[in-house]
Structure 1
Amino acid sequence: MNATIEQLLQHRSIRQFKATPLSSAETDCLLQVAQHGATSSFMQSYSIIHVSDPAKKAALAAIGKQPYIADAAMLLVFVADHHRNAQIASEKGKSTAIIGSMDYFLFATADAMIAAQTTTVAAESLDLGTVFLGSLNNDAQAVIDLLELPAHTFPVVGLAIGHPDQAPQLKPRLPRNQVVFENSYVQQANLVTQLSDYDEAVHQYYDLRAANQRVDHFTTQIAGAMDRRFEKRHELLAIAQKQGFLQY
């Protein structure tokens, strides 16, 4: 097992950062690496907003309801972006109607996520901590307004990076036979029973991380997540359509 694989297997989310800033060399390195992940059809249909303004960082922390967002030395928002390519096509006298297709939204979203994951791997190789910020979808329209995102763009995920000030245990993953299938999908019955050992492993993980707090099993968490409703998140489709995506 080589050093790269060892590093990947040690991934964990960091939610507490030291006040130490990143060097300009570290920042430049991460942004350079972010642009060298895979991209669909070489269209590079993503952009990265480097949020350095303390007021904007605080606003994003409020949207995400996660104060540590404002404490991160580096805060990036990865954006599905067909605005740039639409402008190129328009200047070349070509139609841009295809941007409204689900296909184009999916691969722009994938491009943004690949860039985010590539950045994460690079950051961790520099002994930095990272945490993905799906919480920005708590109010996607507020993020769009705050970052002045034009038509044909959509904020996919945030990424907070900094020098870690905590060392959480590795979070246990689902058994491989629940995730990896050979040649075709395997539908399984009695999942709660099948996952009883995993439930206990997750319970122990949270019990160690949050002593004296209520700790649920994995299956209980999943059932609760499926039964929740976040009002603003139910607006995501309409917001994406307003941005010019998912028209057909």
Structure 2
Amino acid sequence: MSESSSANEGRTTPETVEILQQRRTIRKFADKPIEPNVVDAIEQAARQTATSESLSAWSVVRIKDPETRAEIARICGHARIARAPLLYVFLVDQHRNLRIAQELGVDPDGASLRSSNIFLQGYADAVLAVHATETAAEAFGLGAVILGSVHNDVPRIVELLHLPSNVFPVLGLGLGYPAKVPELKPRPPKEYQYFDDVYPDDAQTPSMVKALSQYDEDVHDYYERRNPDNPLQGFTSYVAALAQSKLVEQGHIFQSIEDQGFRID
């Protein structure tokens, strides 16, 4: 029997699964630096993330400059982000591979590395790397906040980080030792996220709002404890409000992707 098998004997749930099942977003970090060997171990773990076509079409910028941190925090709408001991921005990066192709005689204007398909592959690679980084960090007792809000102003992020063509910001990630650990946030019922063989016909659930009524209550109760002065009414009402908001139109995300040299067609 291997050492790893012996270590797992008598344990109901493997440690990594426990980490994932207890995942929380941490937005307030303790004023404590992360040890360099821990940072290196986290980054080495992320580098082993699965990658499509073996292209490793992602990279990361560590944000150390205080002014850049403050500006990213402003863009993301979270002032505390500037105080995260470790702040990353993960990127789709085909610039590196296009340089390789060009050096080997391939016309970069016609290279498929700029295609929408390859862009999406690189985007997925970057998301996987974020998740691997977060999980590795939590194994060391750190907390994390993932920042999709870097898309609030992509042109400014591009400018701040001096991103060349064919590089695009995907997610930010703040890491640090938690100053406070919130309670576990409720998630939708499993039967509405996991299906067997095919996506279920709508007739099987005539009213999704009724089907999620208990989840609505759970969400409301969670946010009432977290923010009693302005609790979220429930998941379904939140979805309806977001569906009619203009927020999704503000980022002009596809135009920003094309501005960075990718072909979205």
TM-score range, shorter chain: over 0.9
Q: CA deviation at 1:3?
A: 1.3
Q: CA deviation at 1:48?
A: 0.4
TM-score (norm. length: structure 1): 0.96
Letter paired with 2:78: Q
**How many angstroms apart in 2 are the aligned matches of 1:191 and 1:153?**
39
Q: 1:14–1:166: 8 Å Cα contact kept in structure 2? A: yes
1:212 aligns with 2:224: no
**How many angstroms apart in 2 are the aligned matches of 1:214 and 1:29?**
39
SS at match of 2:247: coil
**How many angstroms apart in 2 are the aligned matches of 1:16 and 1:105?**
33
Partner of residue 81, structure 1 = 93
Deviations 1:216-235 (A, max 9, x none): 10001111111111377441
Partner of residue 166, structure 1 = 180
Partner of residue 60, structure 1 = 72
2:47 to 28, 35, 43: 35
Q: 2:152–2:251: 8 Å Cα contact kept in structure 1? A: no
Partner of residue 47, structure 1 = 59
Q: 2:153–2:251: 8 Å Cα contact kept in structure 1? A: no
**How many angstroms apart in 2 are the aligned matches of 1:168 and 1:240?**
35
Q: Tell me which structure has the larger Cα radius of gyration.
A: 2
1:117 aligns with 2:134: no
1:143-182 pair list within 5 angstroms: 143-182=157-196
RCO comparison, higher one (Cα < 8 Å, 6+) = 1
Q: 2:73–2:82: 8 Å Cα contact kept in structure 1? A: yes
SS at match of 1:52: coil
Letter paired with 2:185: K
1:108 to 102, 107, 122: 122
**How many angstroms apart in 2 are the aligned matches of 1:36 and 1:56?**
28
SS at match of 2:60: strand
**How many angstroms apart in 1 are the aligned matches of 2:17 and 2:248?**
40
**How many angstroms apart in 2 are the aligned matches of 1:51 and 1:197?**
41
Q: 1:99–1:244: 8 Å Cα contact kept in structure 2? A: no
2:252 to 227, 235, 240: 235
**How many angstroms apart in 2 are the aligned matches of 1:145 and 1:7?**
36
2:208 to 188, 191, 202: 191
**How many angstroms apart in 2 are the aligned matches of 1:21 and 1:178?**
41
2:25 to 8, 13, 18: 13
Letter paired with 2:195: F
Partner of residue 142, structure 1 = 156
SS at match of 2:170: strand
Partner of residue 223, structure 1 = 240
Aligned residues: 248
Q: 1:139–1:232: 8 Å Cα contact kept in structure 2? A: no
Partner of residue 201, structure 1 = 218
Q: What's the % identity of the aligned pairs?
A: 37
**How many angstroms apart in 2 are the aligned matches of 1:223 and 1:201?**
17
**How many angstroms apart in 2 are the aligned matches of 1:241 and 1:212?**
42
**How many angstroms apart in 2 are the aligned matches of 1:231 and 1:38?**
30
Deviations 1:18-66 (A, max 9, x none): 1111111122122211211110011000010011111111110011111
